[in-house]
Chain A
Amino acid sequence: MGEVVLSLDRLSKRFGALLANEDVSLDLCEGEIHALIGPNGAGKSTLVKQVAGEIRPDGGSIIFDGQLINGLNTAARARAGLGRTFQVSSLISEFSVLQNVMLAVQGQQGNTFQFFRRFSSDAELGKLAGQTIEELDLQDRADVPVSQLSHGERRQLEMACALALKPRALLLDEPLAGIGPAGSQHMTQLLKKLKQQVPILLIEHDMAAVFELADRISVMVYGRIITTGTAHEIRNNKQVQEAYLGQEAS
């Protein structure tokens, strides 16, 4: 395994009486896909939101690229190289596909405060965004507004935006949810290819895909990680079968 890129140390988050994350520690290494699985409401999205900076942990630390980033806001974390997609897709709905990715490129370049040159005829933004769009096979849909995209296409576009940021780590919250078998196949191949470039923390309910993709799997139940291991280890773990996989089978 490569060197550690992202490391979470005893993160905790409470919502009133509910302990959504309790002492969660895990790390993400260069070249790997680390899957985070667990039943609905286990606290997986809550964890990703803490890493991305959308919610503040009650305790614990987040170390990214060797630096403590607890004090950075969401935008600063994105600039530092944390790319993410959302469980419920989140895009600029009145923008076209191309414009969404161009905005991501602009975020990556960090030069938003230009007031005069036209965004839409900015050759540099257009070119870089065009490349990313092609990587995700969206080139035929470049000028279509987001509001007219299918669910699967939105997921692809979210990926395109995340990739345009040239992230050092990717946080993907259920990228395969609701995109159908063909889309799922396609996305799985893409993720396989991607992990060479950027390590991925993958939340996913599709077990077949998780077992195919993940180098390591962590299982979260009631806000705690009960075990971490390879696909083989997780499949044969009694505790996991009881808490989660068994539940799926029944």
Chain B
Amino acid sequence: MRRETWISFGFMAAGLFLVVAAWFGDEPFTITLATKVVILSLAGVGLNLALGHGGLVSLGHAAFFGLGGYAMGILASHAQSFEPLMIGAWALEGTKSMPLIWLVAMLVAALFALPIGVLSLRTSGVYFIMITLAFAQMIYYFAISWPAYGGEDGMSIYVRNSFPGLNTLDPIQFFILCALILAICLVLVDRLVKSRFGMALEAARQNPQRVTSLGIDTFKLQLTAFVISAAITGLAGALYADLNRFVSPSMLSWQVSGEIMIFVILGGVARFAGPLAGATVFIALEHFLGGLTEFWQIWLGLLLLVVILFARGGIIGVLAGERRHG
């Protein structure tokens, strides 16, 4: 196995060990913190596909994260109030079932990503960054001014949604569920990246002219990657809202887009476990440094600066000791 693979698995094993220790030590707060890391990592895994492998620097992934969150919030609130959700003439039942909610969250994120991708992919570079940001901001302001689901204040879900056979309110059970989803997504994305599709996507990032001259449409490649990437981040959003039992427009804000991007860059762009390492360090800094000083983000900024200037492969890149694209 390559060194990077060892490091990735070692990293995950260490994380699991901490959680098990927290479980035996009866520290539910630590487990919840770890769950947060896992879910945010998943959001990063989504962005990493577009940003790392596709070269699509999206500063709008909060849109998909938030849409996933709202998909969960809206479905669960209708289940709580027993009022059907009206879409035109259709009456849809709300639901508290996680698998169903996840499916809807991914679909909604993908459905939004499709037109956003079609329009954004006409541009590249800074324009792509700005246009994805602009779309996310539109959705953000829409959520703020839409009173039906809490508007600016957001909405609470009183009981965490259910998964067959589990007590999701038990922190360790919810953690295991989230960790399993992350593991499955990591494996699927890894397969995807190494498939014909993934290699063509990677090639299009490096040299679109070459890929086009081989008869492969780079637009279709990148659009597909963007949509899959959004669906994964949307799934993470649904889980995140479930973790907090709360969803609000802040999930859609550009700061969240930036944070997801920081996970990816800090951990290592296009690295298997990059988003995990990035989210872990980010949350650790926020938690421990944030407890000491209000200005912890200065230290985060410094760390990010060091990574960008001296370690383009991010944390995983430095540990794996091999350079790849940056």
Contact = CB atoms under 8 A, between A and B. Distances in A.
A139 interface: no
A116 B211 contact: no
SS of A interface (majority): loop
A52 B197 contact: no
A103 B200 contact: yes
Contacts of B211: 92, 103, 107
B47 to A, nearest CB: 18
Contacts of A116: 191-192, 195
A75 B217 contact: yes
Nearest to B209: A90
A84 interface: yes
Q: Which of B192, B198, B214 gathers the greatest number of chain A CB atoms within 10 Å?
A: B214
Contacts of A104: 214
Given A112-B221, A113-B224, A119-B195, A103 B203 contact: yes
Contact of A110 (B209, B212, B215): B215
B123 interface: no
B216 interface: yes
Interface in A93-110: 93-95, 99, 102-104, 106-108, 110
Contacts of B221: 112
B324 interface: yes
Contacts of B297: none
Contact of B215 (A107, A113, A117, A118): A107
A161 B197 contact: no
A114 interface: yes
Contacts of A84: 213
A120 interface: yes
Contacts of B217: 73, 75
A94 B204 CA distance: 12
A165 B192 contact: no
A169 B207 CA distance: 23
B203 A90 contact: no
Interface string A172-192: 000000000000000000000
A111 B203 contact: no
30 contacts: A54-B209, A73-B217, A74-B213, A75-B214, A75-B215, A75-B217, A75-B218, A78-B212, A86-B213, A91-B210, A92-B211, A93-B206, A94-B202, A94-B325, A103-B203, A103-B214, A103-B216, A104-B214, A106-B214, A107-B211, A107-B215, A107-B216, A112-B196, A116-B191, A116-B192, A116-B195, A117-B195, A118-B195, A119-B195, A120-B199
Interface of B: 191-192, 194-200, 202-203, 206-207, 209-218, 220-221, 224, 324-325
Given A116-B191, A117-B195, A120-B199, 4 more contacts: A74-B213, A107-B211, A116-B192, A118-B191
> Can you list the 8 inter-chain pairs with the closest CB atoms, starting with the nearest?
A107-B214, A78-B215, A79-B215, A107-B215, A119-B199, A114-B196, A92-B203, A75-B217
